[in-house]
């Protein structure tokens, strides 16, 4: 098995992003050029602009690299921080962090893109983002109820690389590679593992054949690993195959690439995605520190391509489990045209106790959002039930009971209000 200190590798896929139909002129991607005059006929998005933070980090730690290198997602993958020595060069590691990396074996290695590394606090080991991607000794402690496959995905996998847990939708796992490895990953058992990081073509075809012959499937969620780590050719092939299946009504992609590697959202990629509607995307945001100018540009490109964007945020102890942090994240997402979708209770994977909050904390946070800010900023708090029970929403109880035929409701500010309700009563309320 790989350790946390293995050498960086290329992301899966046979094609090279340099094989593009796009010409370049003055830093602008050009879709076509008049062959007589040389005039630009149509322009797409410009190159990513470097934030001051990125520029300073590039100059300090990658002095031989250019801004074009930095804005190349493949360069970002090739230069991921993978070793204890490289990480120690960039941040002041605590004794616990150093010891945890030294002890690491198995799947879920250390992997951090230079861009995402630039967001880390170099001196503060308790910074939220740093806690999510740098190992600590808590990873080696297994608590009650934890296991490597808490959602029972393997038991709901009729063919390799596919999970069929809900009646009308499936989860298609196309790679075990991520550009950045989150330490609380629910698929820590498989991501970053040795061998191919994209699912074998034969397994992909087998999964697609299963979807094609299973008429009840109307919704396909593509995940992994991170599906946007695939090269354009392979991703487009999968999307087009799914489009040809008549009973598949829409496709979703789950990804953290726009957050950890926003330069992956190229004009070429958005063109592909735009041709595959109806397509939705669930983005994995954790903390407001991720809301950088580069991420704003990536989200804008996706939204401008007509892709509805939702966020999936995992509730993490001492990372985002206070109302100010969570509200700042939700507001920032809306400014970037991303709808807060789910707030997940952290799954009980092995070694995750130091990340998990009581479920009551999630309910408390939702109560702190509901009514105190726009409803668009309030995600649904869910527990993904162990052993394949699916996502179960857990909400604050705003129902006080009944008084005669009046339903008694508690508002966000503590006031009690009556609503005439003479029909069948809510079963879980009590008489007032």
Q: Evaluate if residue 19 carries a pLDDT over 50.
A: no
Please measure the distance between the N-terminal and C-terminal CA atoms of the chain and give it in whole angstroms: 61
Percent helix, strand, coil in the chain, to 5, is 35, 20, 45
> Distance (Å, rounded) from C-alpha 219 to C-alpha 171?
9
pLDDT (mean) for 377-390: 92
Q: How confident is the model at residue 429 (pLDDT cuts 50, 70, 90)?
A: very low
Q: What is the pLDDT of residue 66?
A: 96
The pLDDT tens digits of the residues spanning 266-281 come to 999 999 999 999 999 9
Q: Evaluate if residue 218 carries a pLDDT over 90.
A: yes
Residue 53 CB coordination number (10 Å): 14
Kindly name the residue from 185, 276, 299, 346 that is annotated as catalytic.
185
Kindly name the residue from 130, 182, 183, 344 that is annotated as catalytic.
182
User: In the annotation, is 165 catalytic?
Assistant: yes
Kindly name the residue from 130, 131, 169, 197 that is annotated as catalytic.
169
Domains and CATH numbers, the chain: 23-33+40-140 (no CATH), 154-392 (3.20.20.70), 397-432 (no CATH)
| 3-class SS of residue 350 | coil
The pLDDT tens digits of the residues spanning 344-383 come to 999 999 999 999 999 999 999 999 999 999 999 999 999 9
115 HSE (CA, 13 A, CB side): 31
Q: How confident is the model at residue 195 (pLDDT cuts 50, 70, 90)?
A: low
Q: How confident is the model at residue 198 (pLDDT cuts 50, 70, 90)?
A: low
User: In the annotation, is 166 catalytic?
Assistant: yes
User: In the annotation, is 321 catalytic?
Assistant: no
Kindly name the residue from 165, 256, 327, 367 that is annotated as catalytic.
165
Kindly name the residue from 80, 115, 149, 178 that is annotated as catalytic.
178
Kindly name the residue from 72, 226, 232, 384 that is annotated as catalytic.
384
User: In the annotation, is 419 catalytic?
Assistant: no
> Distance (Å, rounded) from C-alpha 156 to C-alpha 388?
8
> Distance (Å, rounded) from C-alpha 176 to C-alpha 204?
13
Q: What percent of the chain has pLDDT over 90?
A: 74
Q: Evaluate if residue 417 carries a pLDDT over 50.
A: yes
The pLDDT tens digits of the residues spanning 131-179 come to 999 999 999 999 998 888 888 888 899 999 999 999 999 999 999 999 9
Q: What is the pLDDT of residue 426?
A: 85
User: In the annotation, is 182 catalytic?
Assistant: yes
Kindly name the residue from 62, 166, 237, 398 that is annotated as catalytic.
166
Q: How confident is the model at residue 105 (pLDDT cuts 50, 70, 90)?
A: confident
pLDDT (mean) for 216-223: 98
Q: How confident is the model at residue 402 (pLDDT cuts 50, 70, 90)?
A: very high
Q: Evaluate if residue 10 carries a pLDDT over 50.
A: no
The pLDDT tens digits of the residues spanning 26-65 come to 333 444 444 444 444 444 446 778 899 999 999 999 999 9
User: In the annotation, is 391 catalytic?
Assistant: yes
> Distance (Å, rounded) from C-alpha 118 to C-alpha 60?
10
Q: What is the pLDDT of residue 423?
A: 82
User: In the annotation, is 299 catalytic?
Assistant: no
User: In the annotation, is 64 catalytic?
Assistant: no
Q: Which residue has the tokens 């998990």?
A: 356
Q: Which residue has the tokens 């396909």?
A: 220
pLDDT (mean) for 60-83: 96
Give the number of residues written for the chain.
432
Q: What is the pLDDT of residue 46?
A: 60
Q: What is the pLDDT of residue 196?
A: 44
Closest CA to 261 of 238, 292, 300: 292
Residue 13 sits at the vertex; the CA angle it makes with 80 and 10, to the nearest 5 degrees, is 20
> Distance (Å, rounded) from C-alpha 431 to C-alpha 417?
15
Enter the tokens of residue 21: 């139909």
């Amino acid at each position: 098995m790989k350790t946390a200190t293995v050498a960086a590798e290329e992301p899966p896929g046979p094609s090279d992003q340099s094989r593009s139909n796009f010409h370049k002129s003055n830093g602008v991607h050009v879709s076509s050029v008049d062959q007589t005059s040389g005039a630009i006929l149509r322009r797409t998005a410009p190159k990513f602009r470097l934030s001051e933070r990125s520029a300073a980090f590039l100059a300090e730690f990658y002095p031989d690299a250019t801004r074009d290198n930095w804005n190349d997602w493949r360069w970002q993958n090739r230069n991921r921080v993978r070793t204890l020595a490289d990480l120690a060069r960039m941040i002041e590691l605590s004794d616990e962090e150093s010891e945890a990396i030294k002890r690491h074996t198995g799947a879920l290695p250390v992997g951090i893109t230079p861009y995402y590394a630039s967001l880390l606090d170099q001196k503060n080991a308790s910074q939220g983002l740093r806690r999510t991607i740098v190992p600590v000794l808590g990873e080696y402690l297994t608590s009650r109820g934890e296991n490597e496959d808490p959602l029972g995905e393997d038991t709901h996998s009729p063919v390799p690389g596919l999970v069929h847990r809900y009646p009308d939708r499936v989860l298609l796992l196309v790679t075990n590679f991520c550009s950045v490895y989150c330490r609380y990953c629910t698929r820590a058992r498989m991501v970053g593992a040795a061998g191919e990081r994209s699912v074998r073509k034969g397994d992909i075809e087998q999964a697609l054949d299963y979807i094609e012959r299973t008429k009840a499937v109307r919704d396909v969620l593509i995940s992994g690993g991170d599906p946007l780590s695939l090269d354009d050719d392979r991703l487009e092939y999968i999307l087009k195959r799914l489009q040809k299946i008549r009973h598949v009504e829409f496709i979703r992609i789950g990804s953290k690439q726009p957050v950890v590697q926003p330069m992956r959202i190229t004009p070429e990629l958005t063109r592909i995605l735009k041709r595959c509607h109806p397509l939705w995307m669930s983005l994995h945001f954790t903390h407001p520190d991720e809301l950088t100018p580069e991420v704003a540009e990536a989200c804008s490109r996706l939204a401008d391509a007509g892709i509805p964007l939702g966020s999936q945020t995992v509730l993490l102890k001492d990372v985002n489990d206070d109302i100010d942090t969570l509200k700042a994240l939700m507001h920032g997402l809306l400014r970037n045209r991303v709808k807060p979708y789910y707030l997940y209770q952290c799954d009980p994977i092995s070694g995750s106790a130091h990340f998990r909050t009581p479920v009551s904390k999630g309910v408390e946070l939702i109560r702190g959002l509901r009514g105190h800010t726009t409803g668009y900023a309030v995600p649904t708090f869910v527990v993904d039930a162990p052993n394949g029970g699916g996502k179960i929403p857990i909400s604050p109880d705003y129902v006080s009971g009944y008084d005669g035929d009046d339903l008694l409701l508690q508002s966000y500010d503590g006031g009690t209000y009556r609503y005439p309700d003479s029909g069948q009563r809510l079963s879980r309320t009590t008489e007032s």
